Amino acid sequence: MIELQNVSIGYENKSIIKNLSSAFSDGEFTCIIGKNGSGKSTLLKAMDGILSYSGQILLDNIEIMELPRKERAKKISYLPQIRQIPDIEVQTLIAHGRFPHLGFSRTMTIEDNDKVLYAADLTSVQDVLHRYIRELSGGERQRVYLAMVIAQDAETILLDEPTTYMDINHQIEIMKILSKLNKAGKNIIMVAHDLPQAFTYGSEIKIIHNGTIIEAGCPVSLCRSAKLKDIFGITLEKSQSAEELYEYHLTK
Amino acid sequence: MKKYLFLIIGISFILAGCTSVKYDAALNNNNKTEDTISVIDSSNHKLTVKKVPEKVVALSSSFAELWMLSGGKLAGVTSDAVSNRNIGINQNDAEIVGTEMKPNSEKILEIKPDLVILDKDMTSNMALTVMLDKAGIPYYICKVETLDDYLSALKKFVSITGEKNNYNENGEKVKKQVDSLLKLLPNSNKKTPSALVLRAYSSGVHVLSDDNVTCNILDDMGVDNIAKSNKSLLKDLSIEAIIRDNPDYIFVVTMGSNNDNAIASLKKSLISNPAWNTLKAVKSNKVFILPKELFQYKPNNKWGDSYEYLLKIIYPEIYKTK
Amino acid sequence: MNICLKSYILKFIRQNKITNLIVLLIVSIILLIASLFVGASDIKAKEILSFFAGGNVSVSAKSVIIYARLPRIISSYSCGGALALSGLLLQAALNNPLASPGIIGINSGAGFFVVMTSILFPSVFSAKFAAAFLGAILTALLVIGIAIKTRSSKSTIVMSGIAISSLMSAGINAVITIKPEAVMDKTGFSIGGFSSVTMGPIEYIAPIIIIGLLGAYILSSRLNILLLGDEVASSLGLNVSLCRFLTVSFASLLAASAVCIGGLISFVGLIVPHITRNIAGTDYKWLVPITTLTGGCFLLLCDTLARIIFSPYEIPVGIILSFLGAPFFLYLLLSKKRRLEN
């Protein structure tokens, strides 16, 4: 479980996260929604322990900044929205996910290799293991990065808009993989931009606005929320037909 | 990782090989039992060299000439001693061991010289001292800027070659010549003549203030070098300071083998400046390009001629009949 | 057909790192030995062989081998390897393909200290080596220190390097203006070369280079992670600032060692890592040894050519480096472009 207490993050004169307190229970698939600039990405980075903040972020009751980096990396993983794309093979990238688990000499064991193959399998990239990432399509590349995060085998996976810029069928693939992982016991916390998608796959929705979480709850209870209407200007309705792609659709 | 170790081991072997054989070579040299003489060179460094050495390498043309004037022979010289100058060295007599700027250490070692003469002002020469020390080859660091420096060096060289006559011929005689010239200098002068000394390269011009042949002779003659009292001139031209001091004479020493290039550059940077035309030295045509053999290279046994050349210019009434 | 073959060869080379390494080792040994047999003096190969076999050899041959050729070969090879590795590390740590040892002010810092020593202690010749090394290390530390104060991002290190470098260069020029005698030392240092190296400094520097090599090798797996970007690397548990700091430090150690023996030798630190990356891929575990050996072979080859082409006259090694290296590098760039277009 991850607990944030009075977390504030800012630089120069700007305050991005203001006194945010929230709890993320185990086993949940949490989607964080909010307008651009509301602090979503910053929040994720702070929770991953790679950004400094004031306040407390407790990972299983231990302050995250006090955890040694490797231990922290074993418990929580993060897929950012924008990344560098080095000129390496798919297999190499996925294997990098095992970095926090490797010893001083950083050599892979059989167990490490198994986890890599499992991750590749789960994301259906086993056929392109020996190709270079730069040669892949956007969708394939995203799945490869997801595989790396999966190989890291942390209890919690943070994702920053993992389906942006992707074709709809690829988006669904990713969400299905995340669902699978969640059902297998991983905590998924993702920043979402597609509201029907988030409400369909998520088990918990948190709305972030102006640096704080203004509402949180399960999709069913939140879809008619007044705050949703205030911020986005829309509400969500449960879909009637089974033919629809998502369980919810947008209404004015 | 294994490959790494292999490489490290390989290099360590080579290093080990060198250190063990070093001793051999050193021992070899010490086994010689011959007549030797200890000398202290211009740099206060003491060397012990074989008397009447057979193979001598000189890394500067001026000092090669100095050695020959002391009666010695040369086994190795730098290329400028043969191609740029005429100091009596034939291509066949001595090996070329590189250039003055970049002497070739391998060639020097191959000759196995009894003595190497180094120019103190050349870093490339001085860089060889450690290697020569290790190889057990004695070296003489030479620095000559005044007549006295020349005489002292000549004396030391003659003590090595044993040719005492050469000191009289190429040393005493020159001293006498200069002494007699200086005796004729006027005692009370209404005004001390002043001069500016320049060194012209094909890439630019520098001011000389001291520590070279021309400036020392002028000093000895009682001529005021305006750069000396003007340390702010440094070695870059400050037209303003020169105009303010308005020297009576301007002397130019040219570097590089092509005189025309140097003069062209000088003309360009100085005379094109209209302020130079206001200088009395320019107006009264007292700008002199000095011959390289007497002023750029060490004049050696022609030192007297160098004095005479300048004296003739500054006191033509006194020295014109000579 | 030709293009197919070339791309096949390149792909083979890229994927077979062990072969690369073995080939480089063999080439290194061949070059090292071959360089021993060539030079300005006419020593017969037989004499050289008998020298190493422990037989009786003329004193001049012994002198030439021990005092002229061996130190030169060893120093040019080690400096080449150190410079290439230093460049590789800097390009990785700063994520900047234009990074080279010069960028963190090492060259100008060393030059400044050399020129200061030549006027403060003109007669102590060996002071120059210590000065160059000290100058290089202190300048690098200064640059790193400033960058850490401003939370060592890649661009701050580069910018403080440029600033300190200019300061040092200005310092050198100031010294030369006040004491023009120092210009000879500056020129000698700036041209760089191995014509008067002796084994003394090398014996001190060799362990430092080896420490740098080992450090680089240990850091190599971390550098692979650094390639993924600061955020992803942090997320995977890497201490990004520590890794960057250590990498730049080892790079400085290696570059300082090279600069103190060979003076200013540019090009190797910048270009060799690009050549090896093009050929051997991006896994630093392999790149570290491959780049080191390639740098060593390259500088050794260039230095040997510099001293035998117009023997007994020597060309500055930098000229040969550029003449050989630049066309080869351009060829790689163009063939890469062609490959991408295909």
Give pLDDT, residue C193. 83
Minimal Cα–Cα distance from C132 to chain B, Å?
Answer: 15
Q: Between B5 and C158, name the one with better pLDDT.
A: C158
- Which subunits have 3 or more CB–CB pairs within 8 Å of chain C? A, B
Asked if the Cβ–Cβ distance from C235 to A69 is below 8 Å, we say no
Q: How many CB pairs under 8 A join A and C?
A: 63
pLDDT in tens, B163-221: 889 999 999 999 999 999 988 888 766 678 999 998 877 666 778 887 889 999 999 98
Assess B271–C contact: CB distance below 8 Å, yes or no.
no
B103 contacts on C by Cβ (under 8 Å): 195
Is pLDDT at B67 greater than 70 in this prediction?
A: yes
Evaluate whether B78 touches B59 at the Cβ level (below 8 Å). Answer: yes
Assess C216–B contact: CB distance below 8 Å, yes or no.
no
| Structural domains of chain B ordered from first start | 33-173 (3.40.50.1980), 188-319 (3.40.50.1980)
A49 contacts on C by Cβ (under 8 Å): 234
Least confident of A88-97, A223-232, C77-86: A223-232
Asked if the Cβ–Cβ distance from A86 to C227 is below 8 Å, we say yes
Evaluate whether C106 touches C253 at the Cβ level (below 8 Å). Answer: no
Evaluate whether A229 touches A204 at the Cβ level (below 8 Å). Answer: no
| Structural domains of chain A ordered from first start | 2-251 (3.40.50.300)
C 203-262 → A contacts, CB under 8 A: 221-222, 224-225, 227-229, 231-232, 234-239
Assess B255–C contact: CB distance below 8 Å, yes or no.
no
Give pLDDT, residue B188. 67
Give pLDDT, residue C341. 65
Structure tokens at C338: 């062609």
Q: Strand A235-238 and strand A248-251: pairing?
A: antiparallel
pLDDT in tens, B242-297: 888 889 999 988 876 656 676 666 666 666 667 777 888 888 888 888 888 889 89
Give pLDDT, residue C304. 92
Is pLDDT at A120 greater than 90 in this prediction?
A: yes
Q: Which has the closest alpha carbon to B105: C123, C296, C60? A: C60
Q: Which has the closest alpha carbon to C118: C106, C105, C130, C103? A: C130
pLDDT in tens, C177-226: 777 777 777 777 877 788 888 888 888 899 999 999 999 999 999 999 99
pLDDT tens across the length of chain C (342 residues): 566 776 676 666 666 778 888 888 898 989 888 888 888 777 788 888 888 887 788 877 888 888 888 999 999 999 999 999 999 999 999 888 888 888 888 888 998 998 888 888 876 767 888 888 999 999 988 888 887 777 656 777 788 888 999 999 999 888 887 777 777 777 778 777 888 888 888 888 999 999 999 999 999 999 999 999 889 999 999 999 899 989 999 999 999 999 989 888 888 999 999 989 888 888 899 999 999 999 999 999 999 999 888 877 888 888 898 888 888 888 878 877 776 665
For an interface test with B, give the residue of C23, C73, C198 to mutate (most B CBs within 10 A). Answer: C198
Give pLDDT, residue C314. 84
Give pLDDT, residue B20. 44
- For residue B103, what is the nearest residue in chain C, using CA coordinates? C313
Minimal Cα–Cα distance from A78 to chain C, Å?
Answer: 6
Evaluate whether C211 touches A74 at the Cβ level (below 8 Å). Answer: no
Q: What is the mean pLDDT of residues B14-35?
A: 50
Asked if the Cβ–Cβ distance from C177 to B236 is below 8 Å, we say yes
C281 contacts on A by Cβ (under 8 Å): 87-88
- For residue B134, what is the nearest residue in chain C, using CA coordinates? C67
Asked if the Cβ–Cβ distance from A83 to C229 is below 8 Å, we say yes
Asked if the Cβ–Cβ distance from B3 to C217 is below 8 Å, we say no
pLDDT in tens, B79-102: 888 887 778 887 778 889 988 888
Asked if the Cβ–Cβ distance from C312 to B128 is below 8 Å, we say no
Fold for C85-266, please state it: ABC transporter involved in vitamin B12 uptake, BtuC (1.10.3470)
Please state the domain extents for chain C.
Answer: 85-266
Amino acid B100 reads E
Least confident of A237-241, B304-308, C113-117: A237-241
B 63-102 → C contacts, CB under 8 A: 79, 96-99, 102
Query: Which of C95, C231, C236 is facing A152, going by the closest CB pair?
Result: C236
Assess A87–C contact: CB distance below 8 Å, yes or no.
yes
Assess C281–A contact: CB distance below 8 Å, yes or no.
yes
Q: How confident is the model at residue B55 (pLDDT cuts 50, 70, 90)?
A: very high
Q: Is C315 left (phi over 0), alpha (psi -120 to 50) or beta?
A: beta
Three-state SS annotation for C41-68? CCCCHHHHHHHHCCCCCCHHHHHHHHHH
Q: Strand A187-191 and strand A156-160: pairing?
A: parallel
Minimal Cα–Cα distance from B322 to chain C, Å?
Answer: 38
A84 contacts on C by Cβ (under 8 Å): 95, 227-229, 232
Asked if the Cβ–Cβ distance from B99 to C187 is below 8 Å, we say no
Instruction: State the virtual CA torsion across C235, C238, C239, C244 in degrees, nearest 10.
Output: -120
- Sign of the C-alpha dihedral, residues C242, C247, C253, C256? negative
Q: What is the mean pLDDT of residues B11-29?
A: 48
B110 contacts on C by Cβ (under 8 Å): 40-43, 60, 63-64
Assess C30–B contact: CB distance below 8 Å, yes or no.
no
pTM of the full predicted structure?
0.84
For an interface test with B, give the residue of C35, C63, C313 to mutate (most B CBs within 10 A). Answer: C63
Evaluate whether A20 touches A213 at the Cβ level (below 8 Å). Answer: yes
Backbone angles phi, psi at B101, to 5 degrees: -75, -35
Evaluate whether C289 touches B4 at the Cβ level (below 8 Å). Answer: yes
- For residue B22, what is the nearest residue in chain C, using CA coordinates? C66
- For residue A87, what is the nearest residue in chain C, using CA coordinates? C282
Asked if the Cβ–Cβ distance from A99 to C225 is below 8 Å, we say yes
